[in-house]
Structure 1
Amino acid sequence: MSLHALPLFVKLAGRPVMLIGTGEAADAKRRLLERAGAVIVDEAAQAALAIVALDDPEPVVARLRARGVLVNAVDRPALCDFTLPAIVDRDPVLVAIGTGGASAGMAAALRQRLEALLPASLGPRVRALAAARDAIRARWPEAGERRRALANAFAGPLDPLTEAPADAVDTWLAAEDTPQEGGLLRFRLASPDPDDLTLRQARALAQADRVFHRRDVPAALLDRARADAERIACDAPPAAPGDGLAVDLEMAR
């Protein structure tokens, strides 16, 4: 399954971004750029990005592209090199929702749903995790072990979708060790649809260090594994799955 675009978070503080046009649409983009700390310039300036809010954007877009500038043409997805997502801000957590310009209204509706789901305590909790990075590494020095400990925490006391006290990270670090799932987990999948994965299957894929699979397992299912998890096509479950957590997938006949 291919991506129609690669989502990126670009730091714009102090950097020039062209904004060409006037009116309500341009004003909305200006406010967004100002929140990101961008220096707003016109077409005559040098910048890597440009937002064009004009009724007839084609000539301007052509000139900018000829200069190597990446362009967003408001309400003209076919002319866009990049699009601007709907944003849920739980600083330092940013959730971006994009539809590739297909439906800004759908992106806004999803943002409203996610606003209600993500608690206000999420941002401070993530900052506490960043501050505890050295302590986490000291307690779980091996990368796979550390990843599984964090995954278990996010499914329990540090669940990102629930409110938590200010000292939640300290309390978790002070708790006694809990068993970390490892070894080989085997799943026989009844459906090629990733949405039919059980919660346990989805969590195992998200945590696995390597994924063994028969050759008929669809790529859409393998895409649910961590991006850096090794994918290994094989005709039978492995006799030696290696250290950490491994998952073996086969399709039901």
Structure 2
Amino acid sequence: MHSLPLFVRLAGRAVILVGDGEAADAKRRLLERAGARIVGEDDAAAVLAIVADDDAAVARLKARGVLVNAVDRPALCDFTLPAIVDRDPVLVAIGTGGVSAGLAAALRQRLEGMLPAGLGELARGLYAARDTVRARFPDGAARRRAIAAALAPGGALDPLVDHDGADVAGALTGQDGAGVVRRIVLASPDPDDLTLRHARWLAGADRVTHRADVPRAILDRARADAAREATDAPPATAAAGEKVVDVAMMR
């Protein structure tokens, strides 16, 4: 392992930024998103620095013991900046040790499409459910097994499926929780035109209700064991714990 990945809390902390131009501006935006206080080279409080275009500054800062990222010069870097998928509070960082920023960016783009927008909300739900889950599973090993089962592929809280509004505590403790009905109105019969959210809903549905004119290619995006029901009357409610997706074509 060429580097140890770390997540550093920068809110309110001084970070040196040296340089001008597009590269420096991009790093400035990144530091601002992290809440850093951006300072000049002479600030003695800073222990991290990003240098865009000044090798002499890199040498001076390293001599002071400051850890330096030299943009596009991996051989000079004490640390590198990863490509980031942000699902606050979930952060996914992809690094190549400065070998290929393009590869890191391509992987980030693929992961952006795979990870639901509500993944951060799931993380907050898991945090909020800690006391309930501890009470239900006082044994640590049993608790870990229950959480692992819920988060496994196809599990009640599969993190690659959108769980908007899910009863996280209920899913972890074996309680049914409230059912949910989600509705999809299709503008196109082509399954490739499904939004990522709609594709995830179908993939996680227990039951799919649909109008007669909805193409089979769309319905096939639901998991194989999901019940399918052609109906002219969209369901108003779902059974306890049931995820229903209702699909219709735009008129």
State if a TM-score over 0.5 links the two structures.
yes
Deviations 1:6-63 (A, max 9, x none): 0000000000000000000000000000000000001000201000000x41x21111
Tell me which residue corresponds to 1:142: 139
Are residues 1:165 and 2:141 paired?
no
Query: What is the DSSP-based 3-state SS (H/G/I as helix, E as strand, rest coil) of the residue aligned with 1:6?
Result: coil
User: Equivalent of 1:121, from 118, 123, 140?
Assistant: 118
Mapped contact 2:151–2:159 kept (Cα < 8 A):
yes
Tell me which residue corresponds to 2:26: 28
Mapped contact 1:125–1:166 kept (Cα < 8 A):
no
Aligned-pair distance for 1:86? Answer: 0.5
- Number of residues paired by the alignment? 173
What are the residue-to-residue correspondences of 1:3-82 with 2, within 5 Å?
Answer: 3-46=1-44, 47-54=46-53, 56-57=54-55, 59-82=56-79
2-side partners of 1:176 and 1:36: how far apart?
38
Structure 2 runs not aligned, ≥5 long: 177-251
2-side partners of 1:148 and 1:170: how far apart?
15
Mapped contact 1:119–1:161 kept (Cα < 8 A):
yes
Mapped contact 2:132–2:169 kept (Cα < 8 A):
no
RMSD: 1.4
Mapped contact 1:86–1:108 kept (Cα < 8 A):
yes
Sequence identity of aligned pairs in percent? 70
Moved more, 12-21 or 165-174: 165-174
Aligned-pair distance for 1:167? Answer: 2.3
Larger Rg: 2
1-side partners of 2:157 and 2:38: how far apart?
39
**Amino acid in the other structure paired with 2:17:** L
**Amino acid in the other structure paired with 2:47:** A
TM-score when normalising by structure 2: 0.67
Deviations 1:125-175 (A, max 9, x none): 110111111111111122222111111110101111111131230331452
Query: What is the DSSP-based 3-state SS (H/G/I as helix, E as strand, rest coil) of the residue aligned with 2:105?
Result: helix
Mapped contact 2:133–2:169 kept (Cα < 8 A):
no
2-side partners of 1:49 and 1:90: how far apart?
25
User: Equivalent of 1:94, from 91, 94, 110?
Assistant: 91
Structure 1 runs not aligned, ≥5 long: 178-253
Mapped contact 1:157–1:168 kept (Cα < 8 A):
no
2-side partners of 1:115 and 1:165: how far apart?
17
**Amino acid in the other structure paired with 1:9:** F
**Amino acid in the other structure paired with 1:163:** D
TM-score when normalising by structure 1: 0.66
